[in-house]
Amino acid sequence: MKNYDLIIIGGGPAGLAAGLYAGRARISTLIIEKQKNGGQIVITSEIENYPGCLEDETGPSLIDRMVKQTEKFGVDHVFDTVTDMDLSGKEKILHCLHEDYSAKAVIIAAGANPVQIGCPGEIELSGKGVSYCATCDAAFFEDFEVYVVGGGDAAVEEAMYLTKFARKVTIIHRRNELRAAKSIQEKAFANPKLDFMWDTVVQEIRGDGLVESMVVKNVKTGELTEIFADEDDGTFGVFVFIGFKPTTEVFRGHVGMDEKGYILTDQDMHTDVPGVFAAGDIRQKSLRQVVTACADGAIAAVQAGKYIEEM
Ligand code: NAP
């Protein structure tokens, strides 16, 4: 079993910021990331609201620099998946798919994942026209039609990004008013390639190997409409951005959570377990942004440092 002073679970902005602060404090630190550093931010095409980010800053470019910063201060990184744990004692044990680890303190920064519509055909056609990542899949829809489900910041921003590729982008929103920030809405309404389908939900996505049609329902009239792919295209894209759910299943029963599964902390990121902290989108909070994730990570690392020193 490999030992560290501090283990951070999650290599998104919260985990990387925590790693930076821990590394600079000369705390022996490991960041365990499941798949790919960056969390949700690597599927974000444009970052306008992280201080210091100007035009052309993408999620991946920001994350690359954050990872390098942690490495500069001696933080170790490993790709593995936490499957079980014992956080109750002074030595925290993390069981992963490939290896087991122990640490004096743990910061949980495992983030959140996209919510699915939950309609028939969505899972089956995921990666075959249904997508949750515009940066990853937009290029596949060069000159095709694309539908974006959702009305928040993510849906509207990603819809605008998709207009750079798709022939036409239609936002399908369940109400007649967007939730997205007003500044984002202004840009969206001024975009000639962007259309809106209000008061509408997706009931079913159909296709044999690729998305071919989609049944939508007007929630006010109850009317059902089947949208077919253009005959020449044969398919279209359905990009889903309807929020996120915390990645907390594996932590259930180990730390306190609210009814939605977000981890409860105090303002210094302490969970209800001594030596266990949470940072970023995974914790109950009012604003989930890169800037708040980084702030959480910094606070959690400083508090973890104090905890380790006092042990
Ligand atoms: P969000 O703000 O929670 O918006 C989710 C949207 O999806 C809402 O419009 C919601 O409709 C709709 N929705 C939820 N469940 C649905 C369902 N089952 N069927 C159909 N529609 C559904 O989520 P988000 O846009 O992913 O953003 C998450 C957080 O990240 C927010 O705090 C956001 O500010 C932040 N974010 C910021 C930026 C940025 O500023 N650059 C970019 C991306 C994300 P209702 O409006 O009717 O509830």
Q: Which atom of ligand 1 is nearest to the CA of 48?
A: 41
Residue 28 and residue 5 in contact, taking contact as beta carbons nearer than 8 Å = yes
Contact present, 49 and 2 (Cβ < 8 Å): no
In terms of Cα–Cα distance, which of 111, 125, 200, 120 is closest to 155? 200
pLDDT of residue 44: 66
Task: Give the three-state DSSP class for 213.
Answer: strand
Q: What is the pLDDT of residue 43?
A: 66
151 Cβ closer than 6 Å to some ligand 1 atom: yes
As beta bridge partners, residue 202 has: 216
Q: How many A from CA of 180 to the centre of ligand 1? A: 7
Interstrand relation of 29-33 and 76-79 (parallel, antiparallel or unpaired): parallel
Question: What pLDDT score does 105 carry?
Answer: 98
How far does the centroid of ligand 1 lie from the alpha carbon of residue 274, in Å? 33
Going through 98-173 in order, the beta strands assigned E by DSSP cover 100-108, 112-114, 130-131, 145-149, 168-172
Strand, helix or coil at 52?
A: coil
- Local confidence pLDDT in tens for the 311 residues of the chain: 999 999 999 999 999 999 999 999 999 999 999 988 888 777 666 677 889 887 778 888 999 999 999 999 999 999 999 999 999 999 999 999 999 999 999 999 999 988 999 999 999 999 899 999 888 789 999 999 999 999 999 999 999 999 999 999 999 999 999 999 999 999 999 999 999 999 999 999 999 999 999 999 999 999 999 999 999 999 999 999 999 899 999 999 999 999 999 999 999 999 999 999 999 999 999 888 899 999 999 999 999 999 999 99
Closest residue CA from atom 42 of ligand 1: 154
133 is catalytic: yes
Ligand 1 contact via 270 beta carbon (within 6 Å): no
**CA separation for the pair 248, 113 (Å, rounded):** 10
Report how far ligand 1's centroid is from the alpha carbon of 241 (Å): 7
**What ligand 1 atom has the least distance to the C-alpha of 118?**
18
What are 80's two structure tokens?
């593995």
